[in-house]
Structure 1
Amino acid sequence: MTGEGPADSTAEARQHTPMIPLLLGTYTPKMDKKGRMALPAKFRGQLGAGMVMARGQERCVYLLPQSEFRRIAMQIQRTSMGNKAAREYLRVFLSGAVDQEPDKQGRVLVPQMLRDYARLGDEIVVIGVGTRAEIWNKAAWEAYLAAKEDGYSDIADDVLPAMEW
């Protein structure tokens, strides 16, 4: 008996499967004049050495690990040939995407096109949204959060499956 049963192959598969990031929290780094921002320390290891920035929804910038970016792009691409809305979304999403690597101080450059898109100045907010982070103009984030907080508990019934809390 070699000890290579189903349990062993499952354990081996877990060792080779990359950890899915779980980016959480709200951070308020400053953006310098060159458009660089320090990544929150808790995000650095989860995002990895190479990451992708892209146009996000509601005028924020998505910050994704490369593996998550590829997963999303492939999922959209599977439907894009026959679906006009998916083709249009893919064009906008991919044309605004940029590979980034943090420097030795853990800073990343937010390209001018993405700073313009999200109206980013020196006052920004970086939030963890599970498998991605989002970079927001601070005033825009505060307005968005204030507008959504009242309906937060109402939305839960529609978004979350029935579960025990």
Structure 2
Amino acid sequence: MFFGDFYPRMDDKGRLALPAKFRDKLRDGMVIAKGQDRCLYVYPRAEFERIAAQLGKAQSTNSKVRNYARTLFGGADDQSADKQGRIVIKAALREYAGLSRDCAVIGVNDKVEIWDAEAWRRFASEQEQHYVDFSDEFDLPE
């Protein structure tokens, strides 16, 4: 399980240091893909393979399934962290997520999200009331 938020800086070569607490869970490799809300998803390789298998069971005659698969797999990048725990985010993915030097790395249960730090702060601020409302609506634990 991934949780917590961290604010590393990306260097000029597109390298970003992953938080130390996430590295062990990603040591067997990872896949970086376009996420929803203009962020990037970082999946442990096994989780990405599980998603791929599940998607493979979906009806490929459905255009929504095909388009989702094209977006997910077409932009995905296979990665392993270097000795300093850094990954290289390819230019197309950096552009998709609007990443600047200052990034936010967010643990979200089964995956990690990478956001532009300012975009994450805006999103998190906008979602605060929805978080409260959702918790009340579904009687989730506090």
TM-score of the superposition, structure 1-length normalised? Answer: 0.81
Q: Which residue of 2 aligns with 1:88?
A: 67
Question: % of aligned pairs identical?
Answer: 44
State the match for 1:64 in structure 2: 43
Map 1:1-165; keep pairs closer than 5 Å: 22-158=1-137, 160=138
User: Contact 1:76 / 1:90 at 8 angstroms: preserved in 2?
Assistant: yes
Aligned residues: 142
Q: Which has the larger radius of gyration?
A: 1
Matched AA of 1:148: Q
| Cα displacement string for residues 11-50 of structure 1 (whole angstroms, at most 9, x for unaligned residues) | xxxxxxxxxxx00100001000000011100000012231
Relative to its length, the structure with more strand (as a share) is 2
Q: Contact 1:77–1:86 at 8 Å: present in 2 too?
A: no
Cα distance change, pair 85–142 in 1 and its aligned pair in 2 (3 A): same
Higher relative contact order (CA 8 A, sep 6+): 2
Structure 1 pair 81–157 and aligned structure 2 pair: CA distance change class (3 A): farther
The SS at the match of 2:31 is: strand
Structure 1: distance between partners of 2:141 and 2:122: 31
Note the residue ranges of structure 2 that are not aligned, 5 or more in a row.
none
| Displacement over 3 Å in runs of 4+ | 162-165
Q: What CA RMSD, in Å, does the superposition of the two structures yield over aligned residues? A: 1.4
Distance 1:100 1:126 in 2: 16
Hey, what does 1:14 align to over in structure 2? none
Say whether the 8 Å CA contact 1:80–1:90 is kept in structure 2: no
5+ residue gaps, structure 1, are 1-21
